[in-house]
Structure 1
């Protein structure tokens, strides 16, 4: 390969057969099952990176089915998203942990945006006749089980669509140097674009988390479930932007805001 060819074609690994195409990525009929719960505020503060701060003591535990994802195919993921406030006082969401069953979006999510993705075995299905069931196994061990009454009460579609489209999402991206030190260490911000919510419901929910050394979702323990909802939406995962560079010369934490 010539140097010019490498520079022109280098966007993902491996260069001769990338694990994923170039972003952005379009998702159709993406299905969310989200259980919101209160947790230990000290545990939250220990995992939310400055300059973000937790917005209360809530965690959203998510099970997500993605049956039609451009470039990524058909897969499922599960993990924890934390409501946060940035340094300018704006509310957002910080993705703390995510486990999924497809190599392409694991590689792409980590390398492009910095999603904290690891290999796991999540499932989202209807159990019996009236229960939405989400599970997550890590290896042979069950580490998360969520249940919700199936389509108990409808939610306002416009409100749910606005929340998905307007909420900034944050990730802590770390890419190592060849010596093992951090080459990239950034707080990344991204938005969901072209969002259409086809269905939205709420209902009674429950969530059980189990301790695991390498999949520590239970480190944010369930104190009280405060709500559960089920969404079906089309959306585009847009490219991200660097909100804060942890390797830049030391200064007071301040988010970068696009003008």
Structure 2
């Protein structure tokens, strides 16, 4: 917090004199990841992708849960979400369509910086013998349940790359309807160290409320599941498409 007058070229977040989250980078340590890859109907997935993104023909998605015991900027939290494999002008990527977590400062940072679609929800992560179970509860209703086994040791090349990972950053205008800023932003972890990686089978189940309906993601097939423990650094992303300039960057 600063008691000095804000200079024209100063400030990085709101509120300007007491930003709700610290500057980057953020360091994460010993984070547990649950990843369940599945296939869904591409026509349904398309409704969750902003133009000009298109779903992959295979309809590949990944549902995930994250148990963060330590982050230097936000403290501990739990997170869960969905990514959809897509293409942008011929390049393969994943689009982060849904993201739920239980830490307000991490929500503000993710939405404001990268356009991460973060919403507040209860996310639980439990291990029962070799079974990892996560639940996402929104407005008192379970809208996503993941189960996966901690099976055989795996190598990183067994993972389907989830990067580049895109988000839609959308800031409304203050003086009327419409967007003041609309961009597709890519953000990926850096300096990743994988401590553990196990592969196995998994299941995904989706529920709904009037405000949060994940049932269109109903899986045609669960492909694979992974349990990972990793440490990494979170830093700046990259604007890959600017709608108001109508161009890829």
Query: Is this a same-fold pair by TM over 0.5?
Result: yes
Residue 190 of structure 2: SS of its match in structure 1?
strand
Match of 2:219 in 1: 222
Q: Return closer, same or farther for 1:8/1:160 CA change in 2, 3 Å cut-off.
A: farther
Stretch moving more, 116-125 or 45-54: 45-54
Q: How many residues align?
A: 246
CA distance in 2, matches of 1:36, 1:243: 25
The structure 1 segments of at least 4 consecutive aligned residues displaced by more than 6 Å after TM superposition are none
Q: In 2, are the aligned partners of 1:212 and 1:218 still within 8 Å (CA)?
A: no
Residue 73 of structure 1: SS of its match in structure 2?
coil
Residue 212 of structure 1: SS of its match in structure 2?
coil
Match of 1:187 in 2: 184
Stretch moving more, 226-235 or 209-218: 209-218
1:171 to 152, 156, 167: 167
Match of 1:98 in 2: 99
Q: In 1, are the aligned partners of 2:3 and 2:17 still within 8 Å (CA)?
A: no
CA distance in 2, matches of 1:118, 1:198: 29
CA distance in 2, matches of 1:19, 1:219: 35
The answer for unaligned runs of 5 or more in structure 2 is: none
CA distance in 2, matches of 1:209, 1:161: 23
Q: How does 1:1-259 map to 2 (within 5 A)?
A: 5-55=6-56, 56-87=58-89, 89-127=90-128, 129-149=129-149, 151-157=150-156, 159=157, 163=161, 167-178=163-174, 179-248=176-245, 250=246, 254-256=247-249
Q: Return closer, same or farther for 1:52/1:3 CA change in 2, 3 Å cut-off.
A: farther
CA distance in 2, matches of 1:117, 1:237: 16
Deviation at 1:217, TM superposition (A): 2.1
The C-alpha deviation readout for 1:199-232, integer Å capped at 9, x for no partner, is: 1111121111112222222232222211111111
TM normalised by structure 1 equals: 0.88
CA distance in 1, matches of 2:87, 2:227: 24
The answer for unaligned runs of 5 or more in structure 1 is: none
Higher fraction of helix: 1
CA distance in 2, matches of 1:231, 1:217: 25
Stretch moving more, 210-219 or 183-192: 210-219
CA distance in 1, matches of 2:131, 2:125: 11
